[in-house]
Amino acid sequence: MTSLTLMKEPVAPAPSPRPLLRRYDEVRARTRSLVAPLSPEDCALQSMPDASPAKWHVGHTTWFFETFVVAPNVPGYRAFDPAFRVLFNSYYHAVGERHPRPDRGMLSRPSLDVVLAYRTHVDDAMRECCERARDDPALASLIELGLAHEEQHQELILTDVLHLFSRNPLYPAYDATRKPAQHDASELAWIRYRAGLATIGHEGHGFAFDNETPRHRVWIEPFTLASRPVSNAEFLAFVEDGGYRRAELWLSLGFDAASAQGWSAPLYWIREGDRWREFTLQGLVDLDPHVPVTHISFFEADAYARWAGARLPTEFEWEAVASRSDTRGRDEPIREGWRARTPSTISHGEVWEWTSSSYAPYPGFHPAEGAIGEYNGKFMCNQYVLRGGSQITPPEHARITYRNFFPPDARWQWSGVRLARDAR
Amino acid sequence: MTSLTLMKEPVAPAPSPRPLLRRYDEVRARTRSLVAPLSPEDCALQSMPDASPAKWHVGHTTWFFETFVVAPNVPGYRAFDPAFRVLFNSYYHAVGERHPRPDRGMLSRPSLDVVLAYRTHVDDAMRECCERARDDPALASLIELGLAHEEQHQELILTDVLHLFSRNPLYPAYDATRKPAQHDASELAWIRYRAGLATIGHEGHGFAFDNETPRHRVWIEPFTLASRPVSNAEFLAFVEDGGYRRAELWLSLGFDAASAQGWSAPLYWIREGDRWREFTLQGLVDLDPHVPVTHISFFEADAYARWAGARLPTEFEWEAVASRSDTRGRDEPIREGWRARTPSTISHGEVWEWTSSSYAPYPGFHPAEGAIGEYNGKFMCNQYVLRGGSQITPPEHARITYRNFFPPDARWQWSGVRLARDAR
Amino acid sequence: MTSLTLMKEPVAPAPSPRPLLRRYDEVRARTRSLVAPLSPEDCALQSMPDASPAKWHVGHTTWFFETFVVAPNVPGYRAFDPAFRVLFNSYYHAVGERHPRPDRGMLSRPSLDVVLAYRTHVDDAMRECCERARDDPALASLIELGLAHEEQHQELILTDVLHLFSRNPLYPAYDATRKPAQHDASELAWIRYRAGLATIGHEGHGFAFDNETPRHRVWIEPFTLASRPVSNAEFLAFVEDGGYRRAELWLSLGFDAASAQGWSAPLYWIREGDRWREFTLQGLVDLDPHVPVTHISFFEADAYARWAGARLPTEFEWEAVASRSDTRGRDEPIREGWRARTPSTISHGEVWEWTSSSYAPYPGFHPAEGAIGEYNGKFMCNQYVLRGGSQITPPEHARITYRNFFPPDARWQWSGVRLARDAR
Amino acid sequence: MTSLTLMKEPVAPAPSPRPLLRRYDEVRARTRSLVAPLSPEDCALQSMPDASPAKWHVGHTTWFFETFVVAPNVPGYRAFDPAFRVLFNSYYHAVGERHPRPDRGMLSRPSLDVVLAYRTHVDDAMRECCERARDDPALASLIELGLAHEEQHQELILTDVLHLFSRNPLYPAYDATRKPAQHDASELAWIRYRAGLATIGHEGHGFAFDNETPRHRVWIEPFTLASRPVSNAEFLAFVEDGGYRRAELWLSLGFDAASAQGWSAPLYWIREGDRWREFTLQGLVDLDPHVPVTHISFFEADAYARWAGARLPTEFEWEAVASRSDTRGRDEPIREGWRARTPSTISHGEVWEWTSSSYAPYPGFHPAEGAIGEYNGKFMCNQYVLRGGSQITPPEHARITYRNFFPPDARWQWSGVRLARDAR
């Protein structure tokens, strides 16, 4: 039997060989570098309640370390500013009051400079914690969580700043010299898998969020999966076929959302006369037909799939394929047939892929104790799982078992679609 | 009555032995009897966009037969009133325009009398169709669908009229002599099930909705299930423990909904000084501690379960238990242990039971062709499955494979909760 | 110089020569006759928060007499139903709780029959009050207020039922045999008035609302006034000239309202291909070019006037002209010139005429003591005064000093426009 | 200082003796100095749709000169950035598209630096225009309008930044060293005026907005006016008497607004335990009992007046008093009695004073031709006039005939109240 996904190399992150402090410094430096091209004003504005100002992301990721790592572990630690406890709390009821999310764009003060100084203040205290974590696995694990958390916000800094810039008629570029998305002009192929009992969820070594656990079994019926995500050119055919106006292609809520919000193409597509352009981190550019379509909602992904005679994969189908289990027992789903080609790998995916799976707890799921337990579990409702990772996902952040999730009408993420079909 | 979990006999409705016409007449007569206690005004009002006037239900169920059965099958049929094609279309885009749902309460005309005359007009034409269906299984199946559809609306007539009356400070009784819900004072017991591969979905004989198919396999991890739904007395303990104000017990969206809408108890509970009362079809009565709690949302069911150290069952756990498979092969989940007691039966259940399962298509699901295909599939988003049936569900309507579904904040149905737990 | 304002004959209704009881019976009977063509369902529905069900009007006008006349004056009076004290209270905080206005359409009970029985119950008690009022001017005055109040609601019954019927795609006729509005094909003429000091407000004998008092002086600069209201044909020219899309013609708030609500013609005009129709109490009829335009908001009236190179008159200009008193002293504004024609009279006006005057208290205004003081004064904000009366205003209800008032976006009244211009 | 009511000298600004260019430079420099204490972030944020970012004010006032003065008068002028034509257009339909007002806070670019450079660019071109205006009165008048316009926005910069800072839990001070409002502990006195015919509106020399014209006559009935505005201490008595919860004191719309928005004190008052504090441009300070109450809506001013047994003055009463006409002819309102005291002056008033007058055109009012005509007239609906001027009104900007106006629920301006009463 041959393998399921086609990855040449294991993708799940092995336990980091390098010292924790070095990883800490790298991750923290990356956040600074992400806001470097931005002005203080760029960092202060909030373009919608779902998005946050970059400055808030910078402060909140620091708050996370201060609140959950430094404060309980560094005796005599003096808070940089006690008011920040409320100001940069995102949604942790157990930590106390929170500044309201839609009001994050009201905070011209503290200035970006002050927030960066806050960052340095906490980094200093974190040095000691990283040292101590060598002998304290629970502490090390908490710091790993903080770093994974910061990596999530790194991606959000870019999604949120792109959204902000998209509301500015000047269409500013975040980085005009930025390299465009990877170009994959390969023909779409369908790969077929047999039914079987898959093992889903995180293995237990290396970092994972609580929502990826516990590892458990899921029965999967036979299916086929596309060899790559849907491209802009393919999605354009749907647009030009009147896809946004044909109710029969849509979920009922989806058609309502599309009508109410006037959707007629992916979020950042702009028609200028006869040609299509797209607003990107490089600014306004011609639509590249060969890259994966991005910035579509679950609703649009689902409608496109129906139009194409297909459906979205479940997150279990996706993970079973991605985890390539050619040596497992007879209950595992099996790829039947083979194609001499390399589909997109996970960790360097260009786009998050919507699945048909509602975001729900795995059997036996228990959130962490205390405030950290609010990280994932309480959001398991009316959201859909995305798998893979995108061109702006930090390196090392993605995992085969990783479960990203957003409401079905969310469009401002790097979200696209890979098609699946039932096979009997 | 046989038991829910352990029924010796198949419960899925066998092909009805009695002639279709007789069943048609019975179902249609039941609708008339349901609106008999209501005045024309009671039948015309709409208390919220999710609810419909009773008159609209009476017209729409007739429209369904006229549009999908009579019009295509009775040559020369003359519509009672061509305007009704739009007026009583619920959500079928393929049939054409629809009168907007929130405006159903704007229709003082046609009067109830006229709508009942419309009913008679279509019934006359349906007689011929029922006869012809003896030799036309597809037609028979369509008529069965129409009857199941009407039974759904029979339940909605009662849920909607109760909601309407609840907004009237006079608290009118739908039927002051109505027998209260069944009283079940048994102590709650937990029954344990082993892991296994369950077969889920409708078998193929007897009527079922398309969303119950196709029958397929689902792996279920070990779990325990409560012997009966949560009672009013049990839920009251949650209320009095401050359950509605403790964010840590709730899904994030749930706590938002509870706060925004000021929830502090189930929908129809009213505190009068020291005692609790409940508004019911009998009018305002003392809260009966022994009957199952009803009129709670998915959010409240979920919060209650968390407070009780439990969780909601999945719809697969529920169906696996309900379909009683203690003699099946080794992959089937197994009841370990036994209690000499009779849990609520399905077909005479007192309450719909929220499950943790998002309403989604089964693997291989295909909606019916044509307009009828809009019946179920397009609603498979942001809704949660309820299983069982309630005291107002029409007899013969419930099935073990039946999937009821509502958004997680819906409270005006006869919805309650049965607890589950992981077992390792 | 002859004076403008003051009429040869008193126009304010003189003390009614006929017995109060007879007037009481006539007014009350008229309300019954207005709802006679309506079904119980027609009477129960509420088409928008600003409109009320006919049944509510019937109950509330009775409540007014019960609360303000019978209860304080008839010893031993037993309320028909104590719950009605809340149910039929419109907005009198001083009387206690009120059923919320937008929920008036939730009351299928009490039924219309019961509300009519309530009416009879209170009428019985009122007989005694009317007798006693012969010797009690304060009581007589209170009863007169109740009757004027009921006449206001008589007009609202028709405006509200027309609005309800307009939301029904069947377009029911309130009275298919109803005589259409008066036809006035006269050419529009402009009449000029000199500056002067006008005396405005009610004289002091005969009934008037408190908002018409006290009588006081207002200086009026020279102006001209149109001889009749704007006709449908004239307004149609504005529509066809793109009037609804030309921002420069509108008040800023008006253009916002027109855009947000999609106005493109008066409320009940419907374009069917090449012809215009209008929904009226007679049902859907061809637009009559010669009758006054009705069902336009203050915003539309104002925009039309600007388009026509004119403006709205102030309420003082209107009253000064209407009270036409060409023999008074030197400070009175003077009509210069004369036309041998009869402008529309007030008491038989076809349409309420928007003025440019914000609804405000007259100098020295004091609301009545007690709950009755809530009748008018507290609404003196963000409303505009209409003068005259309409084809559905009860006979004897209109007065030259009468101040009707509605918010500037209200369209469901019989509201039209008469043009004015500055004259120097 | 001379007195408000009794000024011996004309107060309407005489034609400025100094060269226009000098005034231009002074006004423009003042705008720069107002934003000097602010960071780029402070200048970019928008705290509500009614307020604008300081950066937008800086850009828009420049746009005004560029659009209405430079572009039509400087041949060969090259726009600084053509995109600014839309970006900084406030509400002039005639100039073309406008960036939506609620989205002014979405513009992180252009940065403050760029907007200041735009300012310099236009100032350069304006030099030539100011020179040329010596011989071109129409041009001079247009420039004067632009300067008055800029002074209005100078006041808005401060009101808007205070509102923004008030939404920041850190309560930043705009200028911690700023001198507090003038302290006036004088006892409140009532001054009586006789009836008479007042002349209202701008005289014709010196600058005025079009809404202050034409000068015309208004009859005023006898009244009394308070000698100074209501103080914080006086308003506090209303608060502590339950004034915000007593429906009988409020206009109906006002009580609705107060309830819906949870008003319980003036906008920036904060109760900390037993003491009251106020958020000001100096930061959070103890409430000063002796200064005029500010940041109250028309609704609060009106409710306070009713509680105090008084009413708001009309704008005509206010102007008649302020223009001091005790030596005029017999028709002028006359101050009866005299007090040897100095009421607040107009041009250095501490607070704008709400009047009871709805903002409406004066008889004979005609807006200016072209886009400039949109300046005032189109806002004459559902707004109320304020008279006087506040501690943040630019010097020389206030006039006795000046008509400020805001909707009745606006609270973020320096708005207070002076009481009046009818006198017979």
In the DSSP assignment, the letter for residue D81 is -
Contact criterion met (CB below 8 Å) for C384 and C359: yes
Q: B20-35 and B54-65 are packed helices; what angle lies between their axes, rounded to 10 degrees?
A: 160
- Inter-chain contact A167–D106, Cβ cutoff 8 Å? yes
Q: Token match 């970012």: residue?
A: D53
Chains that touch D (3 or more CB pairs under 8 A): A, C
Q: Please report which helix (H) or strand (E) contains residue D124, including its range.
A: helix D112-132
Residues 6+ apart with CB under 8 A from D38: D54, D161, D174
Collapsed DSSP state (helix, strand, coil) of residue C386: strand
D-proximal residues of C, 17-76, CB under 8 Å: none
Q: Please report which helix (H) or strand (E) contains residue D209, including its range.
A: none
**Structure token pair of residue B17:** 């032995």
**Sites in chain C below the pLDDT cut of 70:** 1-18, 324-348
Contact criterion met (CB below 8 Å) for C181 and C232: no
Distances (CA, A) of D424 to C73, C217, D421: 34, 14, 10
- Averaged confidence pLDDT in chain A: 89
Write out the DSSP string of C128-171: HHHHHHTT-HHHHHHHHHHHHHHHHHHHHHHHHHHHHHHTSTT-
Best residue of A93, A220, A311, A381 to probe chain B, by most B CBs closer than 10 Å? A381
Residue environment code for A150-172, b if the CB has 16+ CB neighbours within 10 A, otherwise e: bbbbbbbbbbbbbbbbbbbebbb
Whose CA is closest to A38, among A51, A54, A61, A52? A54
∠ CA D215-D218-D220, nearest 5°, is 145
Q: What is the pLDDT of residue A15?
A: 47
- Per CB-CB distance under 8 Å, the chain D contacts of A106 are 45, 47, 164, 167-168
Residue A348's pLDDT band (cuts 50, 70, 90): low
Residue A14's pLDDT band (cuts 50, 70, 90): very low
Q: What is the pLDDT of residue C374?
A: 84
In the DSSP assignment, the letter for residue A68 is I
* Spatial separation of the C-alpha atoms in residues C19 and C37, rounded to whole Å: 29
Whose CA is closest to C101, among C44, C50, C154, C164? C50
Least confident of A30-39, A390-399, D135-144, D301-310: A390-399
* Phi, psi (rounded to 5 degrees) for A17: -75, -25
Contact criterion met (CB below 8 Å) for D360 and D339: no
Neighbours of B237 (CB within 10 A): 14
C-proximal residues of D, 249-278, CB under 8 Å: 250-254
Is the confidence at residue A75, as pLDDT, over 80?
Answer: yes
Cis peptide before C19 (omega within 30 of 0): no
Q: Which of A106, A111, A169 has its CB closest to that of D47?
A: A106
Q: What is the pLDDT of residue A45?
A: 98
Please, do chains D and C touch (3+ CB pairs < 8 Å)? yes
Is the confidence at residue A223, as pLDDT, over 60?
Answer: yes
C283 touches chain B (CB under 8 A): no
Q: D137-166 and D20-35 are packed helices; what angle lies between their axes, rounded to 10 degrees?
A: 10
* Phi, psi (rounded to 5 degrees) for B34: -70, -35
* Spatial separation of the C-alpha atoms in residues A313 and A419, rounded to whole Å: 7
Q: What is the pLDDT of residue A104?
A: 96
Please, do chains B and D touch (3+ CB pairs < 8 Å)? no
- Averaged confidence pLDDT in chain D: 89
Whose CA is closest to B100, among B109, B91, B112, B113? B91
**Structure token pair of residue D27:** 């006004």
* Phi, psi (rounded to 5 degrees) for D415: -110, 130
**Strand pairing of A415-416 and A351-358?**
parallel
Is the confidence at residue A153, as pLDDT, over 50?
Answer: yes
Q: How far apart are the first and last CA of chain D?
A: 32
- Per CB-CB distance under 8 Å, the chain C contacts of D378 are 250-252
Neighbours of A183 (CB within 10 A): 12
**Structure token pair of residue D216:** 């015309």
* Spatial separation of the C-alpha atoms in residues C162 and C174, rounded to whole Å: 7
Collapsed DSSP state (helix, strand, coil) of residue B344: coil
C111 touches chain B (CB under 8 A): yes
Neighbours of D132 (CB within 10 A): 14
* Spatial separation of the C-alpha atoms in residues B150 and A394, rounded to whole Å: 54
In the DSSP assignment, the letter for residue A76 is T
Burial (CB count <10 Å: 0-12, 13-18, 19+), residue C78: exposed
Q: What is the pLDDT of residue A344?
A: 41
Neighbours of B214 (CB within 10 A): 18
Contact criterion met (CB below 8 Å) for A222 and A28: no
- Per CB-CB distance under 8 Å, the chain B contacts of A254 are 381
∠ CA C63-C64-C65, nearest 5°, is 90
Q: D232-240 and D298-307 are packed helices; what angle lies between their axes, rounded to 10 degrees?
A: 80
Q: What region does B244 belong to: left with phi over 0, alpha with psi -120 to 50, or beta? A: alpha
* Spatial separation of the C-alpha atoms in residues A36 and A42, rounded to whole Å: 11
Is the confidence at residue D345, as pLDDT, over 70?
Answer: no
- Chain-centroid distance, C-alpha B279: 20
Measured over the CA atoms of residue A287, residue A289, residue A293 and residue A294, the dihedral's sign is negative
Q: What is the pLDDT of residue C325?
A: 46
- Inter-chain contact C106–B40, Cβ cutoff 8 Å? no
Q: What is the pLDDT of residue A292?
A: 95
Q: What is the pLDDT of residue D180?
A: 74
* Phi, psi (rounded to 5 degrees) for C378: -75, -5
* Spatial separation of the C-alpha atoms in residues C384 and C410, rounded to whole Å: 10
A178-202 mean pLDDT: 87
Q: Which of C87, C111, C168 has its CB closest to that of B109?
A: C168
* Spatial separation of the C-alpha atoms in residues A295 and A414, rounded to whole Å: 5
Contact criterion met (CB below 8 Å) for D411 and D351: no
- Inter-chain contact B379–A408, Cβ cutoff 8 Å? no
Residues 6+ apart with CB under 8 A from C174: C37, C38, C158, C161, C162, C165, C281, C282
Whose CA is closest to B224, among B357, B422, B6? B422
* Spatial separation of the C-alpha atoms in residues A199 and A319, rounded to whole Å: 9
∠ CA B44-B46-B47, nearest 5°, is 140
C356 touches chain D (CB under 8 A): yes
Q: B54-65 and B137-166 are packed helices; what angle lies between their axes, rounded to 10 degrees?
A: 170
**Structure token pair of residue C149:** 């109040």
**Sites in chain B below the pLDDT cut of 70:** 1-18, 324-348
Q: How far apart are the first and last CA of chain A?
A: 20
Whose CA is closest to D414, among D167, D176, D186, D154? D154
* Phi, psi (rounded to 5 degrees) for A231: -95, 165
- Per CB-CB distance under 8 Å, the chain D contacts of A172 are 108-109
**Structure token pair of residue D390:** 């506040």
Counting one residue from chain B and one from chain C, the pairs whose CB atoms sit within 8 A come to 86
For a pLDDT cut of 90, what percent of chain D falls above it? 79
Whose CA is closest to D269, among D225, D299, D236? D236
Is the confidence at residue D58, as pLDDT, over 70?
Answer: yes
Residues 6+ apart with CB under 8 A from D161: D38, D42, D54, D174
C94 touches chain D (CB under 8 A): yes
- What are the beta bridge partners of residue B147? none
Q: What is the pTM of this model?
A: 0.92
Contact criterion met (CB below 8 Å) for A157 and A61: no
* Spatial separation of the C-alpha atoms in residues A374 and A13, rounded to whole Å: 24
C172 touches chain B (CB under 8 A): yes
- Inter-chain contact C105–B45, Cβ cutoff 8 Å? yes
Q: What is the pLDDT of residue D373?
A: 84
* Spatial separation of the C-alpha atoms in residues D289 and D234, rounded to whole Å: 8
Longest dimension (CA), chain D: 65
Collapsed DSSP state (helix, strand, coil) of residue B212: helix
Whose CA is closest to C311, among C226, C236, C237? C226
Best residue of B382, B421, B424 to probe chain A, by most A CBs closer than 10 Å? B382
Least confident of A240-249, C412-421, D369-378: D369-378
